[in-house]
Structure 1
Amino acid sequence: MSSQIPAPRQFLAGASLGTRVVVRYRISDGLTDALGDLVGMSDAECTVRTRRSDVVIPLDLVVAAKPVPPAPPRRNPRPAP
């Protein structure tokens, strides 16, 4: 018995806000990823809060999406030598 992997759009529509995700989507010269928390979802787009900013991604451009584990805790900076 094989389990079917949900299509990216179906996964995003069913994911709870706050779920940590990676979303791969098309840009003008190829593909890129957004890694962070899913903070918004509509019929036309999703919003992923990355470390730098909120990224609004049109669902028509999404080619893959999946949940990812929580980010590891940040390390303390090393003392200067």
Structure 2
Amino acid sequence: MHSGPALPPGASSRPPHPLASARTGTRWVVRYRLEDDDGSRPGLTDALGELIETNSTSVVIRLRSGEAVRIPKTRIAAAKEVPPAPPRRRGSPAGRVPTD
């Protein structure tokens, strides 16, 4: 049975982590596992915002609200760089009716 070409010594067959070469200041969406505090199956959630820090164990995303979320890389299920956020609209918030 042929399993493909042999890898050089020390090479990994796993693809590199999506955030391995990410630049701070870029915008990312990161899907990650929530903490499993009660023994149940942990859920997933997303963080969308500016990558402000990355190291060998975690990334930090600044959300639009200004909150910074530190995400351990071991909990990341998927990550993707996304285009810059569209500019915010000026005026009244959507769905709000002005009163006289």
Give the TM-score category using the shorter length.
0.7 to 0.9
| Greater C-alpha radius of gyration | 2
Higher helix proportion, which one?
1
Inter-partner Cα distance in structure 2 for 1:72 and 1:49:
16
Structure 2 SS opposite 1:11: coil
Post-superposition offset of 1:80: 2.2
1:34 aligns with 2:41: no
Gaps of 5+ in 2: 1-13, 37-41
Gaps of 5+ in 1: 1-5
Aligned residue in 1 for 2:8: none
Runs of 4+ in 1 over 2 A off after TM superposition: 77-81
Aligned residue in 1 for 2:90: 76
Once the two structures are aligned, what percentage of the paired residues are identical?
47
Aligned residue in 2 for 1:22: 29
The normalised TM-score by structure 2 is 0.67
Post-superposition offset of 1:70: 0.8
